[in-house]
Amino acid sequence: MSDFSINREVKDGIAMIRVQGFLDAHTFEQLEEVIRAVYDEGCFKLVVDLARVDYISSAGAGVFIGARSESQENGGDVVLLNPTEGVKEVFELLGLTQIFKVAEDEAAAVAAF
Amino acid sequence: MIHREMVVPNDTEYLATVREEVTKVVEESAFSERDRKLIIVAVDEAVTNIMEHAYDNDLEGELDVELILEYDATRFEVTIRDSGKEFDPRTLHVPDVREHVKKGSKHGLGIFLIRQIMDEVNYNFIQGVRNELQMIKYVDRSRKPETDRSRN
């Protein structure tokens, strides 16, 4: 079973959230809690590093849909950094590829706001 | 043909275990790498729906979800049986994803994914006994029988 972990760092008004492991119906609430904590600090610009997310289901994708909405309502946004092929495939099937900003490196992610 | 059966508790902690078992089966199938990964997603979504809808919270941990996985060269079939309350996932509203995103709705996309991935979704409820959800995917979708019971 994959260990699930999330690290976050807020710098210059942008939160870098690094996720590792399976993002499914069992783990998505942990990511929601981290995002909530970032919002509570008044930061609504999120970069979510998905390079080490081996698997995502609709529960995981739903976290980003909700976060995108709340971030944009508060002048921010959600940028997905380096999603794996598996994540891209699910986003493609859900029709989310065109909706989210996706960056291939941190500099591009920060510049996307 | 590979025929596997597993029983897992009604707990999302076991989703990874279910995916591992499905992975073992599809690895030996004729499906493309892409389709194998998508089949795993579809089974995960179906099991998640059952865990979220078929059982009341106070029964959590007391009832099981049963999986039977079968395939031959052209067909993958998964049957998920549970003894929770009647729940036909085909009755779930299939969302308009753009509207979903516009509203910031976080839930309800699982059935949409299942319908995108699987060729057939069949459901049977045996009164007082169990729900039975069957999903089928064909390597070559054109070989899907004309007389299936799917609403897909």
Q: Chain B contacts of A99, Cβ < 8 Å?
A: 98, 101
Full DSSP string of B126-141: ETTTEEEEEEEEESSG
Cα→Cα distances A64→A16, A61, A112, B71, B125, Å? 14, 5, 16, 34, 34
CATH number of the domain within which A58 lies: 3.30.750.24
Query: Looking at per-residue confidence, does A18 or B150 come out higher?
Result: A18
Q: Which pLDDT tens digit goes with each residue over A20-56?
A: 999 999 999 999 999 999 999 999 999 999 999 989 9
Domain tally for chain B?
1
What value, to the nearest 5°, has the Cα angle with vertex A76 and ends A42 and A94? Answer: 125
Give CA separation, B90 vs B9, B46, B125, B134, B135, in Å: 23, 11, 12, 11, 11
Q: What is the DSSP letter of B144?
A: S
* Residue A25 near chain B (CB below 8 Å): yes
Full residue range of the structural domain in which residue A55 is found: 5-111
Q: Which residue of B has its CA nearest to A98?
A: B98
Place of tokens 């909700």: A66
Kindly determine whether residue B17 and residue A1, on different chains, have CB atoms separated by under 8 Å: yes
The number of domains in chain A is 1
Tokens of A49: 């590093």
Q: Is residue B80 part of a domain?
A: yes
Chain B neighbours among A 42-61 (CB < 8 Å)? 55, 57-59, 61
Q: What does the pLDDT profile of chain B (152 residues) look like in tens digits? A: 788 888 888 889 999 999 999 998 888 888 899 999 999 999 999 999 888 887 776 555 444 566 776 666 678 889 888 888 887 877 877 778 888 888 888 888 998 899 999 999 999 988 767 788 999 999 877 767 665 444 44
Asked, for residue B151, whether it belongs to a domain, the answer is no
Query: Domain limits at B18?
Result: 2-143
Binary contact (B34, A89; C-beta < 8 A): yes
Give the global pTM.
Answer: 0.89
